[in-house]
């Protein structure tokens, strides 16, 4: 197992390195810089702009700037923000924690709903419940996440049932610990629901398809022929076999959910990576953009590594070296 984990970790490090180089190159090709607006300000002299470029190392060549940022990332600073004049890490890490909380809860909720509903619909895939689930998932698939987020936001505003915007209330610091938990939970409901509903149709279709394929296998028919109850056939025979492709899907689902959360965070006012990244892109704050993209990539790589480890534990063919 040690060599397997080492190989997957090394693959993740190389992938993160490639993402950082590619992101740097794209930002170099993008038109405009942070100092374009400053140049238009008559109160700021060209000498001041030259000194600022020298301070942030933006007058250097692309390889030297990348080397400087990489050394800063190793130190844990991730460069200097041009807009905030501060290391990027204190700006980014608290927002990354908020994004992880949001996407983690949404992923957990989506899978907790998708697995039982997918199994339930696969057992009766030719009956009314199978057609009902298929129709519902098809309908949800065609709804853009932006429309879904705006609809949930409109319902929350009209009903006043849940708070809208932000992560906590303005008086959060005055609450006791139980009130803080309730306040945070109430702010989480709408964005978590939007993300979970957006991911649910894809997950349910994969669970349904995987279970339907396994249930039609000969060893399932043999188990039923031996008189094993259907519930035990599902839980002890079908589900472990169907779990392999679903475990592989776990990392990809988190990647899709993380990208979707950027949009939801902006719409819902959730203080995650999304609003900070949008603000940095509009301001051309290059080191914040690079660090935010890199952190998002690292989260996705880590999620895929966890999925690979779960697949290693669940599939004896991988442990035995069989592809």
pLDDT tens column, 102-160: 888 988 898 888 888 888 877 766 666 667 777 777 777 777 777 878 888 888 888 87
Return the percentage of the chain with pLDDT > 90, whole number: 0
- As a residue count, the chain comes to 323
Q: Where are the alpha helices (DSSP H) in the chain?
A: 2-29, 36-39, 46-56, 62-75, 88-123, 128-141, 145-159, 177-215, 218-225, 230-232, 239-268, 273-283, 286-314, 316-319
- Measured distance CA(307)–CA(301) in Å, rounded: 10
> Is the dihedral angle over the CA atoms 307, 309, 310, 315 positive or is it negative?
positive
What lies within 8 Å, CB to CB, of 219 at 6+ separation is: 237
Cα–Cα distance for residue pair 132/149, rounded to 1 Å = 24
Q: Are 251 and 299 in contact (CB under 8 A)?
A: no
Residue closest to 290 by CA, chosen among 133, 56, 106: 56
* Domains delineated in the chain: 2-75 (no CATH), 94-319 (1.10.3720.10)
Alpha-carbon Rg of the chain, whole angstroms? Answer: 24
Residue 269: the pLDDT is 84
Largest CA distance in the chain: 87
Residue 285 has pLDDT above 70, yes or no: yes
Percentage of the chain modeled with pLDDT above 70: 94
Average pLDDT of the residues in 213-238: 79
pLDDT at 315: 67
Alpha-carbon torsion 306, 312, 318, 323, what sign?
negative
| 3-state class (DSSP) for residue 172 | helix
User: Among 214-223, 247-256, 292-301, whose mean pLDDT is lowest?
Assistant: 247-256
Those residues whose C-beta lies under 8 Å from the C-beta of residue 182, and which sit 6 or more positions away, are none
| Cβ neighbours around 49 below 10 Å, total | 16
Above 50 in pLDDT, residue 308? yes
For 135, half-sphere exposure in the C-beta direction (CA atoms, 13 angstrom radius) is: 7
Question: Span 291-307, mean pLDDT?
Answer: 84
Provide the 10 A C-beta neighbour count for residue 307.
20
Query: What's the pLDDT score for residue 321?
Result: 57
CB 279 within 8 A of CB 266: no
Task: State the virtual CA torsion across 186, 190, 192, 195 in degrees, nearest 10.
Answer: 180
Give pLDDT, residue 230. 76
pLDDT in tens, 29-84: 777 777 777 777 777 777 887 887 787 777 778 888 888 888 888 888 888 888 88
For residue 323, what pLDDT is reported? 42
CA terminus-to-terminus distance, the chain: 15
For 312-321, write each residue's pLDDT tens digit: 777 666 666 5
Average pLDDT over residues 277-282: 87
Q: Is the dihedral of CA 243, 247, 252, 258 positive or negative?
A: positive
Mean pLDDT value across the chain? 81
């Amino acid at each position: 197992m040690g060599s397997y984990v080492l190989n997957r970790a090394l693959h993740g490090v190389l992938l993160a390195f490639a993402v950082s180089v590619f992101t740097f190159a794209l930002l170099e090709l993008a038109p405009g810089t942070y100092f374009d607006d400053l140049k238009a300000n008559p109160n700021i002299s060209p000498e001041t702009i030259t000194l600022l470029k020298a301070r942030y190392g933006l007058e250097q060549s692309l390889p030297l700037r990348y080397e400087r940022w990489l050394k800063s990332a190793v130190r844990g600073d991730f460069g200097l923000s041009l807009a905030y004049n501060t290391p990027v890490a204190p700006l980014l890490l608290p927002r990354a924690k908020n994004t992880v909380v949001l996407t983690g809860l949404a992923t957990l909720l989506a899978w907790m709903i998708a697995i039982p509903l997918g199994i339930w619909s696969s057992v009766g895939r030719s009956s009314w419940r199978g057609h009902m689930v298929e129709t519902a998932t098809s309908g949800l698939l065609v709804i853009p996440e932006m429309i879904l987020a705006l609809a949930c936001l409109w319902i929350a505003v009209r009903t006043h049932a849940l708070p809208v915007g932000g992560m906590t209330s303005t008086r959060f610091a005055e609450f006791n610990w139980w009130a803080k938990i309730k306040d945070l939970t109430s702010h989480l409901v709408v964005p978590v629901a939007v993300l979970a509903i957006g991911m649910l149709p894809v997950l349910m279709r994969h669970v349904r398809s995987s279970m339907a394929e396994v249930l039609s296998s000969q060893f399932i028919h043999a188990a039923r022929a031996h008189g094993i109850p259907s519930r035990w056939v599902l839980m002890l025979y079908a589900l472990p076999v169907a779990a392999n492709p679903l475990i592989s899907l776990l990392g990809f689902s988190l990647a899709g959910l993380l990208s979707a959360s950027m949009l939801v965070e902006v719409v819902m006012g959730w203080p995650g990576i999304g609003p900070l990244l949008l603000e940095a892109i509009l301001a051309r704050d290059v080191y914040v953009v690079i660090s935010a993209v890199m952190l998002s990539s690292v989260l996705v790589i880590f999620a895929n590594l966890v999925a690979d480890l779960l697949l290693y534990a669940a599939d004896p063919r991988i442990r035995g070296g069989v592809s």
